[in-house]
Structure 1
Amino acid sequence: METEIELKFFVSPEFSSQLLSKISQAKILQQSSRMLGNIYFDTPDQILRQHDIGLRVRRFDDVFVQTLKTAGRVVAGLHQRPEYNAETNGTDPDLSLHPADAWPESFVVADVQQQLMPLFSTDFERQQWLIAMPDGSQIELAFDQGDVSTNGLTDPICEVELELKSGQTDALFTLARELCTDGGMRLGSLSKAARGYRLASGYQGDAITTLDFMPLRADESVETVFVRTLEHALDHWHRHEQIYAERQDANALIQIKQALGLIRQVFVLFGGMIPRRASALLRQELQWLEGELDWLEEAASIEQLLADKAYMLRKLNAQKVLVKQLHERQEALPDEEAMLALMQSSRYCNLLLDLSRWILSRGWQPFLDDKGRTKLAGSVKPYADATLARSWQELQDVFPAERQLDRVEYCDQQPRLIRNLMSGLCFANLYDEDKRAGFRMPWLDLLRGIEDLRQLEPIRTLLADHQEDDLVQMEKWLERREESLLHAMNQTRHIGIELSPYWP
């Protein structure tokens, strides 16, 4: 058995000239080009896929190699999977060629063997270079161009793969950073096999989902939860990046921004143990990317105001003028092409690479003192209790029950409320589900109220462009809507303040 460790990137066919230019500067040990034909197999009910197992027979130069890949780990484009290879006589798979301990305990290999059928194929040209890195590591760089095909359907392949053949994983990231200096590369979490399964099943696209609670145990260490939460957020980010690349749905960008917010909040939550300087560069770049997505809130507000032929604005005399102004503002916001270019930019790619590298190499550990190491090794439950208690006190301080809050005060506290809810998200599964849900509900409602308030901001920014009569009407319209929202929000806030915490 070998453990395949590789970084995968999606590129355009035009990237080849850029790639060749970069390779010319490297120390090449071997170079080759060949056509590879691959057939992937599974049972009718896809029992292998259910266990995250891939089975293929590859043909090259009249040689047939059967490969079994078992469940592994993917962190923002870095794939780590156990791999078993065996030479065979043809394209018919023979599961007995792989050791018994390669299979899950519940598998009846003989039964699976009888049901195997070809599901899809991948055929591509692979240009390949073995590169010697300065630290002594050797990396195989492959540029693949071809197609995934099944039942008359095809999906183009154009990928760059970096596979560690010997040496340190860190060398993969070093080479990747050099290759993406001029942009044009997007880290890929989907393998060719995953794309084949999608094609074979009539895949119509993943659903956009909100950040979910992460399974936790009270006896897990603080450091384990820190790592798993970062990986959870990174997975959410990368999944929705793929969705956006496929169908340019702005809601996927909103989820990417949510993931960025969670990552930044994780750095805050564990900042008492992990010095800020350990993550300084990452936090700087995360803040940059959040800034690149700041327009999403305005875009969502404009879209809501224009919904149903601007029904919300129907009572305003200036409706037609407002609609025209809102459309003009909408057109001035970043478009799909700009967002796709951002995802293939050098800075974006490097941020993902650096974050993945930092997580995998435990990049915070050199910055720890003995006290920090001891705290990180401790059980997460007491730490979560104390963290949520501090966060709750902050909410009580900024949303006091004894006075009313206005629009500006609510909007100013929106980031703090989001951070508080993110803290609860990190530790949610350590606590009773019903109590937790009941406590969070009014604060989630309050957040939605603030979002509704901010939805009116595009109208407020246009007030100065209108004549006095229309201006007075628009101001009264805004005032009525704000008063209604603030009344409901103040009631919700009082309900939230009076609730008993769900943690000890």
Structure 2
Amino acid sequence: LQARLQPLFSTHFQRETWLVQTGESEVEVAFDRGAVATETLSEDLFEVELELKSGQRGDMMTFAQQLIGMGGLRLGSLSKAARGYQLAQGNPPRPLRPFPLLKAAPKATVEEGMVTAMSGALSHWQYHEEVWLRGNAEAQRSVVEALEALRQAFSLFGALVPRKASSELRQKLTTLEETLAEPVKDAQALSFSALSVETQLALTHWLVESQWRRWIDAKNQAKLDGSFKRFSDIMLSRIAADLKETFSDVQQPNEYHDKATRLSRQLLAVHLLAGAYAPEAVAVWLAPWQELQTSIAQHQDRWLQSLAAQAMRQPAFWLNSSTPR
């Protein structure tokens, strides 16, 4: 049996390592250079990995910031194994993915739900950045979608996490989103830019180090320790009420177009909050709103009022004051 086994792929690389003293900590820096290959395909490999040997994780993140400042680096989301399996399948183009329903752990706290939401948006960003770098220009829009989801996440949890706890990070995200607003950008230049890489690293640092906690008082910490499911139910009710208020009295097509951005952001917020519920139920509720969103984008003005009316009639899939418990 062993003789009949054939490797799907192989990795060949040289590794250089250095032990670096940074702050009060020691960090191992490993540089891998080589290739991942199958019998017929190969992909060059250039990776820098950091491992904290002793000390504080914050020192390692600061050192990573210094490395990024030298240029030519970005945060990667694909392991050597993931690259190998992709080659073994013939290296087909990676598909665009819709923004997912983000599932927090059962009985997650609000704080854990916040981390899940932002980490999910970061994963969506990094995945589509890779797709964009590999030649699919449409993935730029999905990167922007991830940034919009992060904007919504900060808004959703803004009553619990003071704005000053994330002001610098949010400014980086806003600047990057504005930069990406142009229809066509150079994927290589943008993805390796100091703005993009430093923003990803700053977000990662903020999440890993729970940097908001230094700004949280006991009252808000108690709220962050509460049930994320209950928090989501409350926020979903508010989103539904906001959408009904936004579209209930709209008469003219241009008014729908003016409200398209608000609709898009609120639907992203639903994806951040609705992971505790059956995907089928969420999809049924989202469908008419998404159809309205598409019709606005495609200027199918004759259908807008009927689609909005249908969307506003959707019963809640979450627990609210009118839902039997």
Matched, 1:347 2:199: no
Counterpart residue type for residue 302 of structure 2: H
Aligned mates of 1:218, 1:127 — CA distance in 2: 42
Classify the secondary structure of the residue corresponding to 2:166.
helix
2:253/2:304 contact within 8 Å kept = no
Counterpart residue type for residue 405 of structure 1: Q
Aligned mates of 1:429, 1:154 — CA distance in 2: 38
Q: Of 418, 423, 431, which aligns to 2:264? A: 418
Which fold has the larger relative contact order, with Cα–Cα distance below 8 Å and residues 6 or more apart in sequence?
Answer: 2
Matched, 1:404 2:293: no
Classify the secondary structure of the residue corresponding to 1:187.
coil
Classify the secondary structure of the residue corresponding to 2:138.
helix
1:208/1:252 contact within 8 Å kept = yes
2:71/2:193 contact within 8 Å kept = yes
Match of 1:33 in 2: none
Counterpart residue type for residue 431 of structure 1: Y
Per-residue CA deviation, residues 406-438 of structure 1 (Å, 9 max, x unaligned), is: 31x222211211122122112223335454333
Counterpart residue type for residue 240 of structure 1: H
Report matched runs for 1:357-436 at 5 Å.
357-401=205-249, 404-407=251-254, 409-436=255-282
Match of 1:269 in 2: 156
Report matched runs for 1:291-330 at 5 Å.
291-296=178-183
Matched, 1:253 2:128: no
2:110/2:226 contact within 8 Å kept = yes
Match of 1:203 in 2: 91
Q: Of 114, 128, 133, which aligns to 2:22? A: 133
Matched, 1:228 2:103: no
Aligned mates of 2:32, 2:278 — CA distance in 1: 49
1:236/1:256 contact within 8 Å kept = yes
Larger radius of gyration: 1
Counterpart residue type for residue 84 of structure 2: G
Classify the secondary structure of the residue corresponding to 2:252.
coil
Classify the secondary structure of the residue corresponding to 1:208.
coil
Aligned length: 319
Q: 1:486 to 1:200 in 2, by over 3 A?
A: closer
Matched, 1:502 2:312: no
Counterpart residue type for residue 16 of structure 2: Q
Per-residue CA deviation, residues 482-501 of structure 1 (Å, 9 max, x unaligned), is: xxx22210111122223333
Q: Percent identity?
A: 36
Classify the secondary structure of the residue corresponding to 2:315.
coil
Report matched runs for 1:93-242 at 5 Å.
118-135=7-24, 137-216=25-104, 219-242=107-130
List runs of 5+ in structure 2 lacking aligned partners: 321-325
Counterpart residue type for residue 209 of structure 1: R
**Alignment RMSD, CA only?**
2.3
Q: 1:197 to 1:411 in 2, by over 3 A?
A: same
Aligned mates of 1:410, 1:404 — CA distance in 2: 8
Match of 1:278 in 2: 165
Q: 1:384 to 1:203 in 2, by over 3 A?
A: same
**Larger strand share, 1 or 2:** 1
Aligned mates of 1:200, 1:269 — CA distance in 2: 42
Aligned mates of 1:122, 1:381 — CA distance in 2: 44
The runs of 4+ residues in structure 1 deviating greater than 4 Å are: 113-119, 432-435
Deviation at 1:349, TM superposition (A): 0.8
List runs of 5+ in structure 1 lacking aligned partners: 1-43, 45-112, 297-332, 454-484
Classify the secondary structure of the residue corresponding to 1:186.
coil
